[in-house]
Every structure is written in structure tokens, then in C-alpha cells.
Homo-oligomer: A and B are copies of this chain.
Amino acid sequence: MATIVDVAREAEVSVATVSRVLNNSTSVLPKTREAVLEAIEKLNYKPNLLGRNLRRSQTKMILVLLPTVSNPFYSGIVKGIEDIGHKNGYNIMLCNTNSDYQREKTYLELLKNKLSDGVIFMAPELNEEELSEIGSKYPAVQCCEYKEGACVSHVSIDNYKAAYEIVSHLIELGHRRIGLIGSKSNCISSIQRHEAYKRALEDNGIQFDTDLVGYGNYSYKRALKAAKALLSRDDRPTAIFAISDIMAIGAIRAAKEARLRVPHDVAVAGFDNIDFASMYDPMITTIAQPRYEMGCVAMELLLKQIKGELDEPKSIMLDYNLIIRESTKVDTLK
């Protein structure tokens, strides 16, 4: 495998000159440059980035930590991260943490070992303190989920406001008994969506009733089970707000199995607007997060940190969008 020395020899110049044309840094005589380019071509030379990285002490690699790639919610975000990253010469390393604390720690070694120039957390498992430490030592951004107390920039939507809005939509449709399929996880989005649900009810003079709350923990199966329990009650809810689309699908399935029509007998709303939300039957009313944009903004924020242009953590809230579909509103059905 040819190295820079071979190229230099072939072109009859010094390695310094070769390096210059490689990085077109200082000026090189056109003739010399030509000769070098020819030698590179002839030897089919590819710079060994291992050498360059060591010398420059950077890798142009970004670590992206997400719970699992299998969740379609993340794909749009990842695309945004990649697009901005590539535009700036960075490559992305996608890593599944499986929501496992240890695994997340293991991946962070890549950062500490200099194999990555920065990290984006999609759903951090680390606690505030640990996150803050990472943030103080390395470029880091939280995207979507975040720990409020952590001294690390984040970009997300206002989950509270969005959930409040979708629950209000159900209330406007005339529903008074509105169930919740939530999660016992203490991630920020989960907590805020719960709180907003409660508050929206109370603001409309509807008493919050713990009996109407089920837990699905973001899985289809558990949401199905939780919704079944809710719907088999004598005073069953006439509407259900599930804090994720996948759980909304579970709820709709539960309704069907209980011979209840959606939305006629029970309306169901989700959250996230994954692709399947509009492919399901009925199509699901939900909150669309600006996923691509979130990814872009997160990456831009990270790049700023890498360049040292950001002195203190920044928190950015982007706009969301309530999308009303068949699962809540009768007249949207054909």
C-alpha cells in the first residue's frame, strides 16, 4: 500500500509538498502540483487517515447514541444529522444503546479514547451529573429526549404544549372521559405529556381520574394490554390519548378486539407521526415533530461546539404540528 513517501519519491518532491497538494494548504507551483497528482494517480494512493487523525488529533467522526434503530421515529432525525454532518466533512457513527446504561457508557469510551469528535444523545441513560461531566469535557448535544438538569445543549419540541393541544382537540370533539396510555419511564417527554394531559383536563373542568391511566411503556403489546383493561371498564373512556403512535396502534387494536369502532365508539390519538401513523387503518391523529430539522439543528449545534464557538449550553425548542386524521374525527373518514 502506497504511502505519502512513495508518492513523494515518484513525483520527485518532498513529503511536505505532497501533503500540501493533498490539503491544498499553501501555494504549490502548478507544475509541481501536476506531478504530484500524477504520482498519486499512478500509485493509486489513498491517504491513511490513521496517520492524519493522530497528527491532527481529530477523527471527523460523530457518535450518535440512540435506544434502537428499529424505532422508525429516529430515522428522520438521523437523516438531518447525517446531511449536516456530511456537508461539513463528518461521518456519523450510529450506535444502539438498547436503553442500557452500561452500553451507553461503553460507547462513550469512543469519545474519551479520541475516536470520535463529539456525541449526540437521542435519549440519554446517563444521569444529570454524568452528562454534565461529558458536556464539560467534550462537544455534546441532546436531541429529543434530554435531562433538564444536565449542563448540555438540547434541541426538542415543547412536549407539554403539544400534548396539551392534542388532548384539547379530544375535548373539543366533546369527549369528557379521556384515557391515557402512558409510560412509567421518567424521560422528560413522558413526564411532560402526562402532566399536560392532566392539566388540559382540569383546565376544562374534567376531573383527573387515575383509573383512566394505563401504562404501555412504549411497546405495542403492553399498550394493547393496558388499553384492553381501560376499555373493558363499565365507565370506559370515549377517547384515548397514547403518548406514542405505536401505543396508539395498540389501543386501536384493543378497541377493535372489544368490537368498538374507532373513532365512533372510541377516539384514539397518538404522538410522533411515524410513517405508519398514516398507513394504519384508521389513520392516526398525532403530533408531528420536525424530525429532520431537529437532526439538522442538533448537528449544527454540535459543530459550533467543536469549533469552539459556543461558550454555554443552549436549549432550542422547535415547532410541532397537530395532524388530525381518521382516528379521532369522524368526518375525516371517507
> How far is B271's CA from A65's CA once the two chains are assembled, in angstroms?
30
**A57 partner residues in chain B, CB cutoff 8 A:** 50
* Chain A contact patch, size range: 35 or more
User: B70 contacts A94, CB within 8 Å?
Assistant: no
Q: Tell me which residues across on chain B come within 8 A of A70, comparing CB atoms.
A: 72, 75-76, 79, 275
Per-residue B-contact encoding for A162-188, CB less than 8 Å = 1, 0 else? 000000000000000000000000000
A82 at the A/B interface (Cβ < 8 Å)?
yes
A51 and B53 CA atoms in complex are apart in Å by 9
Within 8 A of B (CB), among A101-132: 107, 109-110, 112-115
Determine whether the beta carbon of B115 is less than 8 Å from that of A50: yes
Collect the chain B residues with CB atoms within 8 Å of residue A49's CB: 110, 113-115
How many identical subunits does the complex contain? 2
Tell me whether A96 and B78 are in contact in the complex, defined as CB-CB below 8 angstroms, given that A54-B50, A113-B46, A276-B276 are known contacts: yes
B91 touches A94 (CB 8 A): no
Which chain B positions have C-beta within 8 A of A110? 49, 91
Interface string of A33-64 (1 = CB under 8 A from B): 00000000000001111110110010101000
**Is there a chain B Cβ closer than 8 Å to A249's Cβ?**
yes
Q: Are A114 and B78 CB-contacts (below 8 A) given A276-B276, A281-B253?
A: no
Q: Is A95 an interface residue (CB 8 A)?
A: yes
Please name all residues of chain B whose beta carbon is closer than 8 Å to the beta carbon of A334 when the two chains form the complex: 257
With both beta carbons as reference points, the residue of chain B lying nearest to A52 in the complex is identified as B113
Q: Is the CB of A92 within 8 A of B95?
A: yes
Most buried by B among A51, A78, A92, A114: A114
**From A44, which residue of chain B is reached at the shortest CB distance?**
B112
Chain B residue nearest to A103 in the complex (CB)? B86
Taken together as a complex, chains A and B put the C-alpha atoms of A110 and B52 apart, in Å, by 13
A249 to B70, CA, bound (A): 18
| Assembly CA distance A75 to B275 (angstroms) | 16
| Contacting residues, chain B, for A249 (C-beta < 8 A) | 279
User: How close is A294's CB to chain B, nearest CB, in angstroms?
Assistant: 15
Contact between chains at A113 and B281 (CB < 8 Å): no
CA distance A323 to B137 in the complex (A): 51
CA distance A82 to B275 in the complex (A): 26
